[in-house]
Amino acid sequence: MKRFSPQKSLFVLGSAYIAVMALFFGCSKKAEEQDRAAVPTDTVAEHGDWRQPETCLKCHEEEHSSWVGSHHANANRFVDIETDAARYGVGEFKDAAGREYRVSHEGGEFFISEKNADGDYLPAKAKAVIGLTPLQQPLVEGERGRWQAHAMAWDTEKKEWFNVFGDEERLLGEWGHWSGQGMNWNSNCAWCHTTEYEKNYDPAKDSYASSWTHQGISCIACHSDMEEHVANAGKADYLPPAKPDMRVMMENCASCHARREELSHGDFKAGESFEDHYRLMLYDHPTAYFPDGKANEENFVWGSFMHSKMGHAGVSCMDCHDPHETTLKLPADTNATCIQCHSTGNLGASIVDLSNHSRHPIGSEGDSCVACHMPERDYMARDPRRDHGFTIPDPYMAKTFGAPDACSECHQDIDTDELLGQFNQWFGESERVADLRQRAHLLSDAWTGALAEPEAIIERLKAEENPYWQASWLRLLRPFVGLDAVRDLALSYKDAEHAIVRDSAVLLLGSRQDGLEALQAAAQDPARIVRMQAADTLSGSPYMTPELREEYNEYLRYNADRPSGALKLASQAASNGNADLVKQYGELAIGFDRKSAPIRYDVSILYDRVGLIAEAIQHLRIASAYDPNSGLYPFSIGLLLAEQGNNQDAVASMKKALRIDPSQDRWWFNLAVLQTRLGDVLSARDSLAEALKLAPQEAAYLQFMQQLTGAGVR
């Protein structure tokens, strides 16, 4: 098997890739023979190498012709003179924030250089490109096998360079800076932009030895069992493989078109279960979606789609999209894509009379199904993508939550209140509109912590039929996990049919002392998503079977190049009392996002567990400098100083925390305890009085106040 590896000369590999791609468009027989000679003979069947798209071309000419110019086929490529010389000859330019850059090429090498504060251009060597249209983003060669997606991209329509972050300031050392781990191609992009990708990350060296067999998404990325198919195709007794179940086909799309956590070793194959390899990000994430259900951040479609009525009804990706050409099967500008179901009632779709449904003239923008129900939102500054939540346009959402709304976006010359009045006149009596508004308020309250009781979520959950919404509502119950009613609800869903629901139920049960029995059962669940959820809680306990431990360790190792993965490895090391490994993985997590105060806080907790108190205090001080408006860090410093016996400095640190945030009754209580240790009973009583103002019924505070009052201080 030929496997590309960036550890070799990338320029040579680029030439090899160009030779392979030439086969798709026709080339000399000599060139074809040379390319085949590079493929190990044991991978080549009678009909050709089953991994090569040109082998499929022999029988599937129409599909190949559609695919070869598609976004899938061109998802990743090496730079080359013919395609890229002109854009790298632009010279100097500025981005939206006025930052200065220069692009250049020489001797087959391409450079993007950014001017620093001293006026010097710092060059970065561009070796590859991701994307086809409307933008192409260079991949820059980094240290230790890294490739980084640069902030500058080429606009294929306007023929100009621009910054994918707009005028946003992303600083060196931050997760989201183009040189940071958040823009690392090996970890974040490569699996979905190449075929048979292997990340090969080594956490001990913080390095990659990544490899793949094809740039872009080739035939074998979406079609399984191709080795057998190619070897036997054409034989008299050969029966072609049965067409996969539509749900299986869709989950193959979802492996890339979803914002998800990887649970396996990057070894998902077409035909396998999504939940055996990934955990979808749901609506419990407070910035990923707007309260009305539309995508806010880059969520890659699947989450929105499966929460929608259409996704739940059984509409598939292939009902609308040609998977080879990656275009619509029917035109959207004539509403043909949507009306194929909404004029027939297919899959239970409501029948729509286009002559009056939109309340806009036929053929106008306001009469477009996708303009209203799939509004576009720009990602990467210039990449408009349609929302797949199929939401109802409602100016109420724009007015109340600041959510993008098709009515408000289209009629920017009309006041939102006026638009809302017209909308209410048309649809204000609709039960569906009232239900969606109530749901939006509930989501917003849950995200902001304004929800004091869980009853509204529980009511929603019990009435919900869509498993993705069930899973989201379960996760939103986490603040109330201590309530027996929430425990009982989680127990009732732990054996649900859909793995994503069981996963969320186990998440809740893992936060309770009485959830052990359910976790042990979940550790034997047929879906990896549920097993890994159970293992997250059971890790380090005697209840981990050897098989579960090995599977969990594989999951942790694969995700070690993310802060969460490195932190989980550090936590596991802390459970084993291995201070050296805690420090190794803790520093690795910090290195991925050096200016993240929360990561340093998490690391400091783990350091404290293994006696690295001085190092923990140091990271908390740095965290406090990065986030001076949070009292959590000086309060935590105070706790650790007290642990060292330095009560005087501990009191000073806790006072600093309370000046920042005086609303924390527990902090006042801890301060009172320390003041008592110093013999300052009067100050302790004052501090405890503040705690009682905030939590007047707290038994521990009342008992301590009685003790202090009995100390004779008046």
Place of tokens 């004091």: 452
pTM for the full predicted model: 0.91
Q: Would you state the pLDDT for residue 4?
A: 65
pLDDT of residue 710: 81
| Predicted confidence (pLDDT) at residue 711 exceeds the cutoff of 80 | no
In the predicted model, what is the mean pLDDT of residues 153-176? 96
DSSP 129-196: EE--SSEEEEEEE-STT-EEE-SEEEETTTTEEEETTTT----TTSTTSTTSGGGBHHHHTHHHHEES
**pLDDT above 70 coverage of the chain, percent:** 93
Query: Which amino acid does the sequence have at 152?
Result: M
Retrieve residue 498's tokens.
Answer: 């859909």
Write down the residue that tokens 């970890």 correspond to.
187
Q: Does the pLDDT at position 565 exceed 60?
A: yes
Mean pLDDT score of the chain: 92
Local structure of residue 4 (DSSP, 8 states): B
pLDDT exceeds cutoff 80 at 240: yes
Mean pLDDT of 492-516: 97
pLDDT at residue 2 tops 80:
no
pLDDT higher than threshold 60 for residue 472: yes
- Report which DSSP code applies to 205: T
> Above 80 in pLDDT, residue 107?
yes
Question: Coil, strand, or helix at residue 325?
Answer: coil
- pLDDT surpasses 60 at 42: no
91 backbone dihedrals φ, ψ, rounded to 5°: 90, -130
Which amino acid, residue 684? A
Residue 663: CB atoms within 10 A of its CB come to 10
Q: What pLDDT is recorded for position 275? A: 98
